[in-house]
Amino acid sequence: MMPVEAFLRQDAEAVRPAPALVKRGWRKLLFGDVASSLLTVLISLCALWAVPRVLDWAVFDAVWRGNGQACFDAGACWAFLGAKWPLILFGIYPPDQQWRPIVVVLAFLAITLWSLPERNWTRATATGWLVVIVSSLLLMGGDTLGLQPVPTGDWGGLPITILLTVLSLTIGFPFGILLALGRRSEDRMMRWLSVGFIEIVRGLPLLTMLFIAAILLPLMLPDGVTFDNLSRALVALTFYSAAYLAEVIRGGLQSLPKGQEEAARALGLGRLATLRFIILPQAIHAVIPPLTNTVVVVVKNTSLVLVVGLFDLLSAGRSALTDPDWPSPYIETYILVGFVYFVICFGISRYSLWLEHKLSAGVQR
């Protein structure tokens, strides 16, 4: 027999607080080992070389005000942005009417900010969006409001980017849900139609779809029915959003355990109520990160509408560069345009992180 060492506790071990976490200091971070030391030195050298040059160009040699003459043979021509920002942001929209696109941009900014907190996700907010979208279209066009009419071909810049993004996503989202459900449907016809649509749209470059919308659509439609360029671009972008959103949402639907639907149906909830209250909220929550990704891609995709003759933010910026009185300050213009895109996309991405965190707060699985 093995000897057994008996044990019986006499007094309890003390309960102690956990030892404090040791934070890694800067020195450790930058020079902790050979690799990070090398990296630190390398990056510092690059910075030493680049920073003075960039500063010279962007600050010390830059032209801050004045006209085009001052900008030749100088550093950054910020004066150009000061003079041309309306053209860059609003394209060839009639200069004396530019308060209209400004109002539109501000209205979208306001409703977006209003919609951010969860407590404002109400029916009234949804109606608010509808009102903003419709009145923006009317205000930009002008004729129904008795203002100077501006054809959609003359709209440009930021309002085009915003309108195309918002419209293609709001129309594409329900459409994408239908496609995702269709793809999982037991009805073979529905399944084939959905798969067909999704695969065709995903298989075509967006540029091709925009061309098709611009050239083929008018040919296929009966005489007398015309679409302006904005609607054509919108059709292509909406198809694109719907197909990509559908695949993302399908992933979310697949991630749900079967028991969720069964429990809802067993309680007597119908198919629609089950979708609306049980399936979709969970499926969409599960795919917020890829959903955000798709939204950001759609925002940036609007820059392709140039091919159907629309001037979004990027192309409006480029058209500003053609003024012969100024040198062509490409970099400065692209910095401004890039900055606007960045603010929009970075904002969306931060918001989605917050949202994901917020929605997961209670739901720990």
Segment interacting with other proteins (CB under 8 A) among 114-122, 303-311, 314-322, 357-365: 357-365
C-beta of 254: minimal distance to other proteins in Å?
16
Q: Measured between alpha carbons, how far is 228 from 235 in angstroms, rounded to an integer?
A: 11
Q: Which residues fall within 8 angstroms of residue 353, CB to CB, at 6 or more apart?
A: none
Contact status: 364 vs other proteins (CB under 8 A):
yes
Size of the site for other proteins (CB under 8 A): 23
The conformation of residue 326, written as its DSSP 8-state character, comes to S
Beta carbon nearer to other proteins, 193 or 273: 273
Contact status: 70 vs other proteins (CB under 8 A):
no
Contact status: 362 vs other proteins (CB under 8 A):
yes
Beta carbon nearer to other proteins, 265 or 300: 265
- Beta strand pairing call for 156-157 and 311-312: parallel
C-beta of 295: minimal distance to other proteins in Å?
21
Tokens of 111: 């409703």
Beta carbon nearer to other proteins, 10 or 364: 364
The single residue among 191, 285, 300, 318 that binds other proteins, judged by CB under 8 A, is 285
Please choose, from the candidates 158, 208, 102, 166, the residue with its C-alpha nearest in 3D space to the C-alpha of residue 314. Answer: 158
Please choose, from the candidates 232, 118, 123, 253, the residue with its C-alpha nearest in 3D space to the C-alpha of residue 176. Answer: 253
Beta carbon nearer to other proteins, 53 or 123: 123
The single residue among 281, 342, 350, 358 that binds other proteins, judged by CB under 8 A, is 281
C-beta of 275: minimal distance to other proteins in Å?
12
Contact status: 185 vs other proteins (CB under 8 A):
no
Q: Site mask, other proteins, residues 237-276, x = CB under 8 A?
A: --------------------x-xx-xxxxxxxxx--x---
Q: Are 333 and 318 a contacting pair, CB within 8 Å? A: yes
Beta carbon nearer to other proteins, 285 or 318: 285
Q: Site mask, other proteins, residues 304-343, x = CB under 8 A?
A: ----------------------------------------
Q: How far is CA 9 from the centre of its chain?
A: 63
**For the chain, percent helix, then strand, then coil, each to nearest 5?**
75, 0, 25
Q: Are 169 and 236 a contacting pair, CB within 8 Å? A: no
Return the sign of the alpha-carbon dihedral for residues 263, 265, 270, 272.
positive
Conformational region of residue 146, where left means phi above 0, alpha means psi within -120 to 50, and beta covers everything else: left
Beta carbon nearer to other proteins, 103 or 256: 256
Contact status: 291 vs other proteins (CB under 8 A):
no
Q: Measured between alpha carbons, how far is 230 from 238 in angstroms, rounded to an integer?
A: 12
The conformation of residue 227, written as its DSSP 8-state character, comes to -
Contact status: 61 vs other proteins (CB under 8 A):
no
Segment interacting with other proteins (CB under 8 A) among 81-89, 176-184, 228-236, 278-286: 278-286
Beta carbon nearer to other proteins, 18 or 361: 361
Q: How far is CA 357 from the centre of its chain?
A: 19
Q: Measured between alpha carbons, how far is 289 from 284 in angstroms, rounded to an integer?
A: 10
Residue with tokens 């959609």: 152
N-term to C-term CA, the chain = 48
Q: Measured between alpha carbons, how far is 51 from 44 in angstroms, rounded to an integer?
A: 10
Beta carbon nearer to other proteins, 132 or 264: 264
Contact status: 235 vs other proteins (CB under 8 A):
no
Q: Are 212 and 224 a contacting pair, CB within 8 Å? A: no
Segment interacting with other proteins (CB under 8 A) among 188-196, 280-288, 295-303, 305-313: 280-288
The single residue among 132, 278, 288, 314 that binds other proteins, judged by CB under 8 A, is 278
Beta carbon nearer to other proteins, 98 or 260: 260
Q: Measured between alpha carbons, how far is 339 from 163 in angstroms, rounded to an integer?
A: 19
Beta carbon nearer to other proteins, 58 or 355: 355
Q: Which residues bind other proteins (CB under 8 A)?
A: 257, 259-260, 262-270, 273, 277-278, 281-282, 285, 359, 362-365
